[in-house]
Amino acid sequence: MTDFYFVRHGQTFANAGGLLQGTSDGEETYLNAAGKQQARELREKMDLSFADRFVISPLQRTQQTTEILNVELQRPVAVDERLKEISYGAWDGQEKKKLRESAPEAFETEFDEVSPDYVKFANDGEPFDSVVKRVGEFLADTSELYPDDSIVVVTHGFTIKAAAINVLSLKDYLILPEPDNLRVTLIKVRTRHAYLSYYNR
């Protein structure tokens, strides 16, 4: 009975500048002042003493967020490559507005997010299915490794969305928006089933 508390990293310079980050990991993707404050506010608002451990993405923005959340708790931290953000290939680090202007078919309108069709336009872009699969494997493997733990998973917007899509077995990837910075999503994995308790709270 493993509980996964997914937390999206704090706001970055790239978030504020309207860039599509993907797996970019340069200084523009580091937390800005607002992002660091968001992490401090969550730490003060949410008692994380229940957590047995943190499992996080290898990208710097999640590591910076974890350092703030875990500064007093000092829980063990593990890195899992499967928690990386989706790679937008040639679109990583590009300005979202310009991409939307050049390939409007690659964006949905309701949440103004990239659609699965973006791979037709972005060289070496990672398919949505691939992210859903690797995050599903993370949930299965980690719940087997830590069957009774409560785990804080610090990762990325699309990665968290992919986890929810996996649990809900959704076919339409555009139903859910990506969660906001430092919002929490709870997924509970039990012997036979996984449940989405809440999303983007």
Task: Label residue 80 by pLDDT band (50, 70, 90).
Answer: very high
Beta bridge partners of 8: 155
What pTM did the predictor assign?
Answer: 0.97
For 165-184, how does the pLDDT look when each residue is reduced to its tens digit (9 = 90+)? 999 999 999 999 999 999 99
| Phi/psi of residue 117, nearest 5 degrees | -70, -5
- Evaluate the CA torsion angle 178, 56, 27, 134 in order and state its sign: negative
Mean pLDDT computed over 97-113:
93
Mean pLDDT computed over 141-169:
98
Structural domains in the chain (count): 1
Lowest-confidence region among 6-10, 69-73, 106-110: 106-110
> Tokens 């078919």 — which residue?
105
DSSP-derived secondary structure for 123-141: TTPPPHHHHHHHHHHHHHH
3-state helix, strand, coil in the chain (%, to 5): 40, 20, 40
Angle at 143 between CA 142 and CA 148, to 5 degrees: 125
Residues 10, 35 contacting (CB under 8 angstroms) = yes
Mean pLDDT computed over 37-47:
98
- What's the CA gap between 70 and 72, in Å, rounded? 6
Is it the case that residue 77 has pLDDT exceeding 90? yes
pLDDT at 47: 97
Residues 182, 42 contacting (CB under 8 angstroms) = yes
For 119-137, how does the pLDDT look when each residue is reduced to its tens digit (9 = 90+)? 999 999 999 999 999 999 9
- Strands 94-95 and 19-20 come out as antiparallel
- Which CATH number is 78's domain given? 3.40.50.1240
Helices 33-45 and 60-69: angle between axes, nearest 10 degrees: 40
Domain that holds residue 164: 2-198
Percent of the chain with pLDDT over 90: 97
User: How many helices (H) and strands (E) in the chain?
Assistant: 6, 8
